[in-house]
Amino acid sequence: MTKEFDVFLSHASEDKDRVRKLKDSLEAKGVKVFFDETTITWGDSIVEKVNHGLLKSTFFMPFLTKTFSEKGWTNKELNSAISTNISRKSKILPIKDHDFDLDTKYALLNDILYQVWPKDEAGLPEFLDKVTDAVVGLIEAEKQPT
């Protein structure tokens, strides 16, 4: 199956300002990102677009926050990604907020290495560079023949 997106950014709308910074960093390095506000346009079926994005993305990157865990929509996206990850058709790249308790909220993600969004804004540029460079490396590795 041909992938249209490198990364599907899943997030609660309340976290959009922070996740947008990650999207911008990824796109600046040529990463093709599914991000709701730029991929879903007026008149589109949200459900169809999200399902398309989930199926056509190589990596699923949830931004795990308290708000994320309380939303029905983000949990549906995550459940779909976990199901796809089990069959190894996709890979989950979690980012958790600095104060989010992953262990009590998402036990199924306990064995997946994650990144932690910095508490201090001063650490954000370095964090974004690190995550973006890692994603670019993963995309390049995916393109290599096995």
One-letter amino acid for residue 104 of the chain: T
What are the residue ranges of helices labelled H in the chain? 16-28, 36-39, 46-55, 66-70, 72-86, 102-105, 124-143
Tell me which residue has tokens 């670019």.
Answer: 136
Are the C-beta atoms of 48 and 60 separated by less than 8 Å? no
Kindly state the helix (H) or strand (E) to which residue 117 belongs, with its residue range.
strand 115-117
Residues involved in catalysis: 77
Question: Which two tokens mark 66?
Answer: 């308290």
Q: Find out whether 76 and 25 touch, Cβ atoms under 8 Å.
A: no
